[in-house]
A and B are shown apart, each in its own frame.
Chain A
């Protein structure tokens, strides 16, 4: 196969590309330039798409003996990922930009271009197991539970998955690092990237404030309706947040208060006790079904965040969406997040049954 390896400059994508080469594929490495004004050098372990990352990717490609190019996706990235991220927060939702990036950049813009240029697949360093059984893609959790990224890949369509390749799915991170060292890839010891790549200092609140400005509103007690204070914009909050609410007086019962809901139109941030955070039902739209919609109510495991936030549930495909009844309540479930449904499988890895974007909770 002709494989295009997306190389970020990190250890995972370098080893993934190496494995694709070793499997006998005809591999070309491509680094995606995603920032219009890339920083020259990394600061700590944060950020990506700096000139240094591009150089690290190039050096890895040299070692693998594959051609290497840098492709400019900065405009698409800004439009599809950064603007969407800002827009979602402004609308009181909590987006995951890595999901959007996989959906719109790596497996749409890049994949489309790669296919048109004669490639058969795009290979990345994601930790998820992918196989195609009778033409139906099966996406499963990684063998490394700590690194599992099936959640951020579950929004890919079956067609996208059919042209994806995740050579690291069956491996554990320490083994991948050891393999990188063995292959004499200089990135073997490079720290993992964290946080959101386009917010290199990790301060999401300031980033959003610089983009959205101040949009003051009331902090409202969800139970009494009393105004407890003012805030500078719903985009500074996420459902489930406890710290930084800026409320001086404690609640009457002395218990901590959490953000329960964000209302972008009125600008209200509703707060209340922990138990009101508990969600029993999730409605979600824009579903993706790798093997077709669920046939009737289905016992499954749901996940609502990239890390953690899992619970057993019964899910059902409804018109244009998914309805999920949780067996155990989940906290910190916000509209805009993605809910992924898994069929538990301890041996081969939990299988992704579907995913959808959360529209409301109860």
Chain B
């Protein structure tokens, strides 16, 4: 099987599996006061220190959560509520149009239910938010901005945003910046303090850790209203019994993936470049989306293409039948492949947004994966092209005849 969907989830690192298995067989609630409790708490605190160290943050800035979606919701809603409570004029949320749904929908929820006003930040043709776009949005009225949220790297096309520059623009007006770095950690250099961002989301299963665990790095001076109330385990910002085995494995994955990053990223980027060459050889009119390969502005593991005249769901099914697994981007809850909001924001038309595929590589990828794709892709695209965009809107001819 050829797994080219590491951006969806990547296999767990052996170190993380070992850490989790070991911790699963010990008892102890990290909030208990006895020996077992203290032992569990020690595991959690060591994990906190490991995460902080790997990402250039202070241990007290690490809030463990149940993953990327929770971290994004906590940052976006929590910081919005806190900032607006301190000054009711702060109602505006600045968000890039290419965010993951965990940010996008949280922002939209604030607009629909909590009186927020949203300024969607436009992106350039590669999917990047330019600092001048952010500056312009802030300058419209710096006093009414609650927060800005811009992802570190895009999960569909792999474009990396200039987070330090964006944070610099925000800092001029004391506006907190949240960045969803789920795809960036372990792939590019991510330093929390150095970036100047006030909040940063990361999650376990994208970096070789387990599912269902992640963290929000939250600057100590950035107030945040909790989403979950209860025992107040995590700095009173997040409640819930700490998942010791998951946190232990997550921290192991963060440490390992960040430590190994220079070598992994280089190897993965090389494979990705080979994959791009192979795709363009097999399908000369395939359009690579995002930055040119070799640029710093691109994640090492993602290659995203539009295949003119093809429907993404046809391509996916045909490749799946050949044992090659990739992604069309996001799917709705029913499982329908949707036109990518990222490509639409980058200026693509609806047909291109439906006719795209993401191939993503990771720590277990090999040259064989690229070769397998190269072998099958030409035939698959040809077939998908025959099927065309069947199922999409026909011109009105038939309808007029009917009525």
Chain B hits for A135, CB < 8 A: none
Q: Are B391 and A76 in contact (CB under 8 A)?
A: yes
Is B113 in contact with chain A by the CB < 8 A criterion? no
Q: Are B336 and A72 in contact (CB under 8 A)?
A: yes
Chain B hits for A14, CB < 8 A: none
Q: How far is the CA of A40 from the CA of B334 in the complex (A)?
A: 9
Chain B hits for A87, CB < 8 A: 399, 402-403
Chain B hits for A51, CB < 8 A: 333-334
List CB contacts (< 8 Å) of A61-77 with chain B: 67, 69-73, 75-76
Q: Are A113 and B391 in contact (CB under 8 A)?
A: yes
Is B99 in contact with chain A by the CB < 8 A criterion? no
**Beta-carbon nearest neighbor of B313 in chain A:** A71
Is B351 in contact with chain A by the CB < 8 A criterion? no
List CB contacts (< 8 Å) of A96-147 with chain B: 104, 109-110, 112-113, 116-118
**Beta-carbon nearest neighbor of B390 in chain A:** A113
Chain A hits for B139, CB < 8 A: none
Q: How far is the CA of A188 from the CA of B28 in the complex (A)?
A: 45
Chain A hits for B393, CB < 8 A: 75-76, 79
Binds A, one of B60-68, B317-325, B363-371: B317-325
State how many angstroms separate the Cβ of B317 from the closest Cβ of chain A: 6
Is B392 in contact with chain A by the CB < 8 A criterion? yes
**Beta-carbon nearest neighbor of B339 in chain A:** A72
Known contacts A54-B334, A84-B402, A118-B383; is-contact A67 B391 (Cβ 8 Å)? no
Chain B hits for A28, CB < 8 A: 317, 321
Q: Are B403 and A91 in contact (CB under 8 A)?
A: yes
Q: Are B334 and A70 in contact (CB under 8 A)?
A: yes
Known contacts A67-B317, A67-B321, A117-B383; is-contact A75 B392 (Cβ 8 Å)? yes
State how many angstroms separate the Cβ of B174 from the closest Cβ of chain A: 41
Q: Are B337 and A72 in contact (CB under 8 A)?
A: yes
Q: Are A72 and B387 in contact (CB under 8 A)?
A: no
Chain A hits for B390, CB < 8 A: 109, 112-113, 116
Determine which of B313, B333, B387, B392 lies in contact with A116 in the assembled complex, contact meaning CB atoms within 8 Å.
B387
Is B388 in contact with chain A by the CB < 8 A criterion? yes
Is A31 in contact with chain B by the CB < 8 A criterion? yes
Chain B hits for A58, CB < 8 A: 335
**Beta-carbon nearest neighbor of B331 in chain A:** A70
Determine which of B388, B391, B399, B403 lies in contact with A73 in the assembled complex, contact meaning CB atoms within 8 Å.
B391
Size category of the binding interface on chain B = 20 to 34
Q: How far is the CA of A19 from the CA of B399 in the complex (A)?
A: 36
State how many angstroms separate the Cβ of A204 from the closest Cβ of chain B: 18
Is A195 in contact with chain B by the CB < 8 A criterion? no
**Number of cross-chain contacts by CB at 8 Å:** 86
State how many angstroms separate the Cβ of A33 from the closest Cβ of chain B: 5
Q: Are B398 and A80 in contact (CB under 8 A)?
A: yes
Q: Are A117 and B334 in contact (CB under 8 A)?
A: no
Most chain A beta-carbon contacts within 10 A, residue among B314, B317, B318, B384: B317
Q: Are A69 and B383 in contact (CB under 8 A)?
A: no
Q: How far is the CA of A40 from the CA of B332 in the complex (A)?
A: 11
Is B394 in contact with chain A by the CB < 8 A criterion? yes
**Beta-carbon nearest neighbor of A32 in chain B:** B391
Determine which of B316, B318, B391, B398 lies in contact with A72 in the assembled complex, contact meaning CB atoms within 8 Å.
B391
State how many angstroms separate the Cβ of B401 from the closest Cβ of chain A: 10
Chain A hits for B333, CB < 8 A: 40, 51
**Beta-carbon nearest neighbor of B335 in chain A:** A70
Is B386 in contact with chain A by the CB < 8 A criterion? yes
State how many angstroms separate the Cβ of A317 from the closest Cβ of chain B: 22
Q: Are B391 and A84 in contact (CB under 8 A)?
A: no
Is A38 in contact with chain B by the CB < 8 A criterion? yes
Is A159 in contact with chain B by the CB < 8 A criterion? no
Q: Are A72 and B313 in contact (CB under 8 A)?
A: yes
Q: Are B335 and A69 in contact (CB under 8 A)?
A: yes
List CB contacts (< 8 Å) of A1-58 with chain B: 28, 31, 33, 38, 40, 51, 54, 58
Q: How far is the CA of A40 from the CA of B336 in the complex (A)?
A: 14
**Beta-carbon nearest neighbor of B316 in chain A:** A69
State how many angstroms separate the Cβ of B392 from the closest Cβ of chain A: 6
**Beta-carbon nearest neighbor of A109 in chain B:** B391
Q: How far is the CA of A54 from the CA of B335 in the complex (A)?
A: 8
Determine which of B321, B336, B338, B394 lies in contact with A71 in the assembled complex, contact meaning CB atoms within 8 Å.
B336
Q: How far is the CA of A113 from the CA of B386 in the complex (A)?
A: 8
Chain B hits for A201, CB < 8 A: none
Q: Are B386 and A83 in contact (CB under 8 A)?
A: no
List CB contacts (< 8 Å) of B348-390 with chain A: 383-384, 386-388, 390
Chain B hits for A38, CB < 8 A: 334
Q: How far is the CA of A76 from the CA of B388 in the complex (A)?
A: 14
Chain A hits for B320, CB < 8 A: 67
Q: How far is the CA of A69 from the CA of B402 in the complex (A)?
A: 30
State how many angstroms separate the Cβ of B354 from the closest Cβ of chain A: 9
Known contacts A67-B317, A80-B399; is-contact A116 B388 (Cβ 8 Å)? yes
Q: How far is the CA of A40 from the CA of B317 in the complex (A)?
A: 25
Q: Are A110 and B391 in contact (CB under 8 A)?
A: yes
Is A88 in contact with chain B by the CB < 8 A criterion? yes
Q: How far is the CA of A79 from the CA of B398 in the complex (A)?
A: 9
Q: How far is the CA of A76 from the CA of B391 in the complex (A)?
A: 6
Q: Are A84 and B403 in contact (CB under 8 A)?
A: yes
Chain B hits for A79, CB < 8 A: 393-394, 398-399
Determine which of A33, A83, A90 lies in contact with B336 in the assembled complex, contact meaning CB atoms within 8 Å.
A33
Q: Are B391 and A117 in contact (CB under 8 A)?
A: no
Chain A hits for B394, CB < 8 A: 76, 79-80
Excluding A72-B337, A117-B384, 15 further A-B contacts by CB distance (< 8 Å) are A33-B335, A33-B336, A51-B333, A51-B334, A71-B313, A71-B336, A72-B336, A75-B392, A79-B398, A80-B402, A109-B390, A116-B386, A116-B387, A116-B388, A118-B383
Q: List 9 A-B contacts (CB under 8 A).
A: A33-B336, A67-B320, A70-B331, A70-B334, A70-B335, A75-B392, A79-B393, A84-B399, A117-B386
